[in-house]
Each structure stands twice: as C-alpha cells, then as structure tokens.
Amino acid sequence: MGKPRPPQKVKLIVGMLSGDVDLLARAQKLLGRTFGTVELQSDVWPFDATDYYEAEMGPQLKRKFVAFAECIQPDALAEIKRTTNDLEARICEDMLVDPDRRPVNLDPGYVALGKVVLATTKDHAHRIYVQRGIYAEVTLKFEHGAWRPWPWTYPDYVAGTYYDFFTQVRERLHQQLHTLSDQP
C-alpha cells in the first residue's frame, strides 16, 4: 500500500495577456507585490495562435510569463487563481473598465519537474476540480528532455514558443529542490 507523502514544491508562473505592453509591465509589478520577487520573465510574444480573447480584449494581444523566486506547494494553485481573478477585477476598476472587457488576463500555473499545470475556472473532461470553483490542467509534460503537448493543450502552448522559458523555470526549480534537500 502506498503511503501519502507531501508533494515536491513547484515554481509559480503567471501568463499575462494584453494588447498594451505597458499594462503587462504594470501587471507584473502588481504580481510581484502580491506573490513575491519575480525571478524570471519571458520575452513578450504576439498572441496569434487563436482569436479566443479578441472579442473581450481586442486585437493584437501580447503574451508574457513571469516566474517567482519562492517555490510553492502545488495545492496553493486554487487560491492563487482566485487571487489573480481579484487582481484582474482590481485592474478593471482602477482603469474604469467593465470587467467583461478586461484589459489584462492573468493566468497562474506552475512548473514542476515533469509538467506545466495551469489553473482555470472552466471545467472540461481533462481537468480536475481542485477547490472553490477552480480546476487544474496538466498542459505540458516534460518527457525525454523536452516539453510535449497533450491533445487538449492550448494552441499557443503547442507551438513551442514558450518552451525555453519553461525550461529555465524548470532548471531553477531543480536547483532549488536540490538546495532544499541538502538542508537538515
């Protein structure tokens, strides 16, 4: 019989979407104040693999990721998603924008040694209910030294554009886990 044991810690990431790169920078500062030091940040890429958000957020969206210095427990993801939803609402309020037309999308997830997991409020057959209206999805797996998508992986994650960034986050996590295991 298997014995329950605590999970390994993971690296919190947040994917940001906006048509305004200055707003991405402001959102990053707000995320840093909320979740701690931003340790790694990605380039800013065009978000053009889908037009899913265009009606809500407008055209010519940009994508950027940040990763945070401190490792987290995986079960913190649901509360983090609720917090990022609150931050989105706060940004809408500060900018006097209707929440149905949010100017920035903040999608938290985490990088573990073997996967990238994203949080969502939308249920689907491949998502697991976590708690308080939040679901989790394994979006990518790390297999044979490379990131690999699943059939349900979002088109922008399938393209491979983000893989170098996720690899940097994974390498940093590996270093931190090694350091944690060396501590008495």
Contact 82, 76 (CB under 8 A): no
Is the per-residue pLDDT at 136 higher than 90?
A: yes
pLDDT value of residue 15: 98
118 SS3 class = strand
Q: What is the DSSP letter of 144?
A: T
> How sure is the predictor about 99, in pLDDT bands with cuts at 50, 70 and 90?
confident
Q: pTM of the predicted model, to two decimals? A: 0.94
Is the per-residue pLDDT at 72 higher than 80?
A: yes
Partnered with residue 32 across adjacent β-strands are none
Give CA–CA dist 102/97, Å, rounded.
7
Is the per-residue pLDDT at 184 higher than 60?
A: no
pLDDT value of residue 182: 64
Alpha-helical runs (H) found in the chain = 21-35, 54-57, 77-94, 155-158, 163-182
Enumerate residues 6+ apart whose C-beta is below 8 A from 55: none
Domain architecture of the chain: domains with CATH:
10-182 (3.30.70.260)
Give CA–CA dist 170/176, Å, rounded.
10
Give CA–CA dist 180/184, Å, rounded.
9
Q: Residue 145: which H helix or E strand, with range? A: none
pLDDT value of residue 49: 87
Compute the Cα dihedral for 132, 138, 140, 141 and give only its sign: positive
Please give the average per-residue pLDDT across 50-71, as a whole number: 94
Tell me the average pLDDT of the chain: 95
